[in-house]
Amino acid sequence: MSSAAAATNTTATTAGSQPGHTVLQVPVPPLEAFVRARTAHYDATWLSPDAEFGHAHVTALGPFLPPDATDAEALRRVAEIACRTEPFAFTLGGVDTFPNGIIHLVPEPDEPFRTLTAALCEAFPSYLPYGGAFGDVHPHLTLDARSATVSETSTVALLEGLLPVVSRAERLDLALWQQNGCRVLTSWLLGSAPAS
């Protein structure tokens, strides 16, 4: 979808859903099937029929602008940052758990993700990672949440044979997260000049 189309197509609410939020995220295709399966296990209304949507992703900045505030100027600023960010390789192998119970994979190296987030925060100072709920933000790929039946150990067992994952950050997506309406609004190839 083009930037112009995205700017005019961000306010739709699907029947039976609540207004969503946008996230700037880097998709991680090698883990898409795993994360999709875990999402379906909990609540299939968060599954997207959009083949480009990255259920498996590393968040660069989210929540981002409200869907109805994602205008051409905001998209231009994101495009400039994506253009300045060269694609990079990373490995996901270490499973960890945050104090809030989120079980996740840690990208190595994490510096390119931190640099991307810092650039986006500088361009959009009103939008802090995770709404400012956490101090130092750690780049990660969410796998699951700790519960009575889910632990870091059980998650590692489900990942048997999948890790480590070697991937490459090549694209930054503006994704809408909304029950019954998750989709990619627009994407930018990292290191590529924005379309004029």
Residue 146 structure tokens: 């700790």
Evaluate whether residue 159 is within a structural domain.
yes
| pLDDT value of residue 196 | 58
- The average pLDDT across 62-82 equals 94
Q: Directed axis angle between helix 72-84 and helix 111-123, to 10°? A: 150
The pLDDT of residue 6 is above 70? no
Evaluate whether residue 183 is within a structural domain.
yes
| pLDDT value of residue 195 | 65
CA-based nearest residue to 158, from 179, 172, 144? 144
Instruction: Kindly give, in sequence order, each residue whose CB lies less than 8 Å from that of residue 69, ignoring residues fewer than 6 positions away.
Output: none
Q: What is the extent of the structural domain holding 181?
A: 3-8+20-189
| pLDDT value of residue 104 | 98
The pLDDT of residue 4 is above 70? no
Answer whether 0.85 is exceeded by the pTM: yes
| pLDDT value of residue 14 | 42
Domain count, the chain: 1
Evaluate whether residue 84 is within a structural domain.
yes
Evaluate whether residue 47 is within a structural domain.
yes
Evaluate whether residue 196 is within a structural domain.
no
- The average pLDDT across 187-195 equals 89
What are the φ/ψ torsions at residue 94 (nearest 5 degrees)?
Answer: -90, 120
Evaluate whether residue 29 is within a structural domain.
yes
Specify the 3-state DSSP secondary structure of 41: helix
Q: What is the CATH number of the domain that holds 155?
A: 3.90.1140.10
Evaluate whether residue 124 is within a structural domain.
yes
pLDDT tens sequence across 130-181: 776 777 789 999 999 999 999 999 999 999 999 999 999 999 999 999 999 9
- The average pLDDT across 87-91 equals 99
Evaluate whether residue 14 is within a structural domain.
no
CA-based nearest residue to 169, from 152, 153, 189? 189
Q: How far apart are CA 55 and CA 34, in angstroms?
A: 9
pLDDT tens sequence across 37-60: 999 999 999 999 999 999 999 999
For residue 123, CA distances in Å to 77, 113, 133, 188 come to: 7, 16, 19, 16
Q: How far apart are CA 120 and CA 53, in angstroms?
A: 20
